[in-house]
Amino acid sequence: MSRDAPDAIVIGSGPNGLAAAITLAEAGRSVVVYEAARTVGGGMRSAQLTQPGFIHDVCSTIQGISVASPFFRSLELASLGVELVHPEAPIAHPLDDGRVALLDRSVVTTAAGLGSDDRRYRRLIAPLVHDADKLMPFVFGPFDPFPRHPLAAARFGFPAMRSAKGIGKGFSGDLAPALLTGLSAHAMVPLHLPTTAAFGLVLAITAHAYGWPVVRGGTQVLADALATRLRALGGEIVTGHPVTALGELPAARAILFDTSPRGFVGITGDRLPDRYRRRLESFRYGPGIFKVDWALEGPIPWRAEGVGRAGTVHLGGTTGEILASERDIAAGRHPERPFVLLVQASRFDRSRVPNGGETGWAYCHVPNGSDVDMTDRIEAQVERFAPGFRDRILATAVRGPATLEADNANYVGGDINGGIQDWRQLFTRPVARLDPYTTPIRGLYLCSSSTPPGGGVHGMCGVWAARSALEREFGHRARRA
Ligand SMILES: Cc1cc2nc3c(=O)[nH]c(=O)nc-3n(C[C@H](O)[C@H](O)[C@H](O)COP(=O)(O)OP(=O)(O)OC[C@H]3O[C@@H](n4cnc5c(N)ncnc54)[C@H](O)[C@@H]3O)c2cc1C
């Protein structure tokens, strides 16, 4: 390879890889990003997966985490061509009897729809939403025992330490617990475990405080915007270039890996000290997902009023049902009625579909590496709350764990979070180290979602890793978020 040696190289162009590259370039460093796929973006890609004219988000579609992230909030996304489209309501969670928990941007309006739990929901959620801007640096940081806003962190920390199951027991009705359990289930961790309430609370805070938008035209627009920003800073991106060994790369003072620990071990080979390699090899990956995208001839015919107003719909019924579904997954079983996360982006962004058409995006959790086709079970869950749904399907595209991993090596066994996010591994990912982005080899850093703060499109793993590299390799002073 004849390329001049840049200051830094980033392997992988997911949100964390691009955030790392932008952070380095903003500090005046020359950066080259190598991306295995032909297009930039990792989990921010879009494609016409079903029929011409129907734009589907291949991975992430809801940008509730990115709009809350200090990294994305620091960018002028609108000037980079990104238009965020906010559904009328962020989330709906229908039950079989026709009632719906509708998470509106307003806590008061949401609570008013939760029957006897109106006051309890407000008392739990309103103070956290009020503190949202203070909490986000804490949520998106590596673990900080001395948070900048200790009172806000404590107010969040007490309920967050509980299990999702436990926090649900504090309500008298079934709508509020179902809503919060459904949000916690995004974590893909058994919901009776301590700290699983934290995921539901964080997602509820982001949905109320910042909204859960989609990107007009598809999430790829967001990836392209980050690429534009990087190139404007002098950075370079090489796509269609899987990196398989360190020796392939030009010399650079810092190399940041937006890869899984497994990918990192594969590329660094025998240069890693045995002990560190063994720790990376025992890194635990979480459940996988099975995803379905539909081209539809019209809107999903929801039985309950209000569901059509939401961008995201949680299909899993009551708290008990969701707990059972997630327990099955953790035990290696495939539930008959899986918890399904569905997004109806084209309801709010008509640029994704031809006249009158609609897209549907949905997935359920499956055991890691599963090869079971869950299409029927996912469609049955939609049909359960929207009779006649199947009649509207024009075309279907499915992606199980093997396809996901073949498309993006980071999704080991279909795990989209870069490793299980239970309390043992959330802050100590990939291994317990004072600075988890560093490795025992000088100049090599991990920056993917397998480092804190974990999965989702927020870019903060990349920002923290880049800051660590800037400090250690280039003598820049460290800054807090
Ligand atoms: C189906 C699905 C739905 C999701 N939905 C949401 C959602 O709605 N909202 C949300 O916030 N998050 C969602 N996520 C999760 C989110 O996409 C990821 O957490 C996020 O993309 C992780 O970012 P990353 O930069 O760490 O890695 P990735 O985005 O996975 O990017 C890693 C990149 O590195 C490249 N790479 C890997 N190995 C090499 C190599 N050896 N050489 C060169 N390149 C390499 C890969 O090709 C990839 O482009 C979803 C993920 C999936 C799969």
Ligand 1 mutation target, pool 11, 210, 457, most atoms within 8 A of CB: 457
Looking at ligand 1, which atom is closest to the CA of residue 404? 53
The answer to whether the CB of 468 is under 6 A from ligand 1 is: no
Distance 207 CA to ligand 1 centre (A): 22
pLDDT at res. 322? 97
Rounded average pLDDT per 10-residue block, the chain, 481 residues = 79 98 98 98 98 98 96 95 98 97 98 97 97 92 80 90 92 97 94 93 97 98 98 98 96 97 95 95 96 98 96 97 96 97 98 97 98 98 98 98 97 97 84 93 97 96 97 82 50
State the pTM of this model.
Answer: 0.96
Distance 449 CA to ligand 1 centre (A): 8
pLDDT at res. 2? 41
Distance 410 CA to ligand 1 centre (A): 7
pLDDT at res. 346? 98
| Sign for the pseudo-dihedral over CA of 413, 419, 421, 423 | positive
pLDDT at res. 142? 75
HSE of 70 in the Cβ direction (CA atoms, 13 Å)?
20
Beta-carbon contacts of residue 45 (< 8 Å; ≥ 6 apart): 37, 39, 57, 58, 59, 219, 220, 223
pLDDT at res. 148? 85
Beta-carbon contacts of residue 442 (< 8 Å; ≥ 6 apart): none
The token duo for 54 is 């129907």
Q: How many CB atoms lie within 10 A of CB 356?
A: 10
Decide: residue 110, CB within 10 A, 0-12 exposed, 13-18 middle, 19+ buried. Answer: buried
Distance 457 CA to ligand 1 centre (A): 8
Q: Which run of H or E residues covers position 257?
A: strand 254-257
Give residue 279's identity as a one-letter amino acid code.
R
